[in-house]
Structure 1
Amino acid sequence: MNFDELPDFERDLKSLLKKYRTLYDDLEIVKRVLEVEPNERPPFSYRIDGLGLETCLIKVKKMACKALKGKGVNSGLRLIYAYFEEEKSIVFVELYHKNEKDNEDRQRIKDNFK
């Protein structure tokens, strides 16, 4: 599986790393899971519908973060990624904490996956 990141995702990650220092390690764990099972897996992740795009976009609702002690997968971190099944590729689109933002940035998604 090939993994890539949008420049906006890199900014999200850099910003969140100031608060959550284990994010690089946490993302490596997510990558290992996605290599085995890249499709949505309710209730932990689900497909984002209603965008009018053919690209498969998935929102991970329950991303574990070691920096949030005692919270585990109920950390409140959200990860949005695009899964390209034929190319066996995943592009990370957005990373945010649920307290800082209500939903994914649909405009960012549409701008990058027309």
Structure 2
Amino acid sequence: MKKYKTLKEDLEVVKKVMEILPDARPPFSFRIDNLGIESCVIKVKKIACKSLKGNGVNSGLRLVYAYFKEEDRIVFIEMYHKNDKENEDRDRILNNFK
């Protein structure tokens, strides 16, 4: 939150979109496969962040979440900037299902 001052507001927009379209929507988001779990884990590649002026959805922010369709529930797992790390933390994802 210190680095991206508008993140809370930006996430509210993401939540509204996810209420309507919670499943993966390529090329903006996709399912993360080969985790060895049945739950649907999705990575959003393009999140608009007002703190990163001039970049819009090409801000480089990534969001990983689990979508439980039967329960109509979403759990945020991880958010990171693509310059801070290359890929999602699979151990962190799997720890959410223990």
Q: Could you state the TM-score of these two structures normalised by the residue count of structure 1? A: 0.84
Higher relative contact order (CA 8 A, sep 6+): 1
1:20-63 Cα distance to aligned partner (Å, 9 max, x none) = 10000000000000000000000100000010110100000001
Structure 1 gaps, min length 5: 1-16
1:33 maps to which residue? 17
Structure with more helix by fraction: 1
Q: How many residues align?
A: 98
SS of the residue corresponding to residue 94 of structure 1 reads strand
The one of 108, 111, 114 equivalent to 2:92 is: 108
Q: Could you state the TM-score of these two structures normalised by the residue count of structure 2? A: 0.98
Runs of 4+ in 1 over 6 A off after TM superposition: none
How far 1:111 moved relative to its partner? 1.4
RMSD: 0.6
Give the % identical residues: 69
